[in-house]
Amino acid sequence: MHKPVMSAEVIEGLAVKTGGRYIDATLGDGGHAQALLEAIGPTGRLLGVDRDAEALEQARSVLWDWREQYVEARANFESLAEVASTHDFLGADGVLFDLGVRSAQLDHPERGFSFMQDGPLDMRMDQRQDWTAADLVNEWTESELAQVIWRYGEERAARRIAAAVVARREERRFTRTLDLAEVVELAVGGRRGKTHPATRTFQALRMRVNEELQAIEIGVRSAIDLVRPGGRIAVLTYHSLEDRLVKQICNRHVGQWQSLQAGGQEWVGEQPQLQRVTRKPLVPSVAEVRENPRARSAKLRIVERMKT
């Protein structure tokens, strides 16, 4: 199992208390969940959510010793409000989101996330979903493809890549990840620097197939609504699109004080009101990045629901 990213900072940032009730909205392999369970002690409770059945299975064995205090739910965190209500976690003390895919999803080529190892063009986090990356790549129009690659991958060569994909699929449909990675690499014009030329395109397809930004928007908003006043939310992101969105959602609830013409000030923002626990996002230590390259791009934002 890979070490959870910024685990100490997450526990400290959430101000985890003995006997508390916490939600891990992205259970993955259960690394952060284990740290949370250790911190809440025998009287605390944890709800672990993931949309990937393999993640839940893996976490179950890691968290076996805490089975009396731990409840799992297979769900998209988009439905966090409903899941929390079902399991009696409304008014929780804190919620953690550790976004993106787990390392095992990337390491298992049969899940179709990797452009380094060959696998089916799949990319579904939840394998009950009835469409895959192959459907997107083979069926969507050239302009739809270009838009996805541009919007979710921030890839400057999006149009060129979309045109190359459409030209190739007229001869033969795409079914494998490496096949697509090669076409993208050619369209981008070969390798430059350390990053694989298909990185952004694969990120874009993954985000669209799993509707990740929509889930973040709804999930983080639900977490803000459901934590108790004084409760905290911690979000770990791994690229700028995710981080920007999380920042925007939080800013709306942090709001701002505006001067009134008649004198005094009024707070303008969305309820419930939040305050930032850290002004800037936290980043991992040099030592952690050296030990765990996956942590390299991590940013941790922590907010607290105001006690009104």
Q: Report the residue number, 21 or 111, with the smaller CB distance to ligand SAM.
A: 111
Closest approach of Cβ 71 to ligand SAM, in Å? 15
Please name the helix (run of DSSP H) or strand (run of DSSP E) that holds residue 12, with its range, or none. helix 7-13
Rounded alpha-carbon distances, angstroms, from residue 295 to 103, 125, 145, 177, 298: 11, 21, 30, 25, 5
Q: Using CA atoms, how far apart are residues 85 and 77, in angstroms rounded to an integer? A: 13
Q: Report the residue number, 55 or 245, with the smaller CB distance to ligand SAM.
A: 55
By three-state DSSP, how is residue 5 classified?
coil
Closest approach of Cβ 121 to ligand SAM, in Å? 18
Q: Using CA atoms, how far apart are residues 224 and 155, in angstroms rounded to an integer? A: 32
Please name the helix (run of DSSP H) or strand (run of DSSP E) that holds residue 187, with its range, or none. helix 177-188
By three-state DSSP, how is residue 108 classified?
coil
Tokens, residue 285:
């230590």
Tokens, residue 103:
């390392």
Would you tell me how many other CB atoms lie within 10 Å of the CB of residue 163? 15
Q: Report the residue number, 168 or 206, with the smaller CB distance to ligand SAM.
A: 206
Q: Report the residue number, 187 or 203, with the smaller CB distance to ligand SAM.
A: 203
The residue among 121, 135, 100 whose CA lies nearest residue 183 is 121
Q: Using CA atoms, how far apart are residues 296 and 293, in angstroms rounded to an integer? A: 5
Closest approach of Cβ 76 to ligand SAM, in Å? 4
Residue nearest to ligand SAM (CB): 28
By three-state DSSP, how is residue 96 classified?
strand
Q: Report the residue number, 73 or 187, with the smaller CB distance to ligand SAM.
A: 73
Q: Which residues bind to ligand SAM, rule: CB under 6 A? A: 4, 26, 28-32, 49-52, 55, 76-78, 98, 100-102, 125, 215
- The gap between the terminal CA atoms of the chain, to the nearest Å, is 41
Closest approach of Cβ 300 to ligand SAM, in Å? 12
Closest approach of Cβ 277 to ligand SAM, in Å? 19
Closest approach of Cβ 113 to ligand SAM, in Å? 11
Q: Report the residue number, 61 or 256, with the smaller CB distance to ligand SAM.
A: 61
Closest approach of Cβ 174 to ligand SAM, in Å? 23
Q: Report the residue number, 149 or 215, with the smaller CB distance to ligand SAM.
A: 215
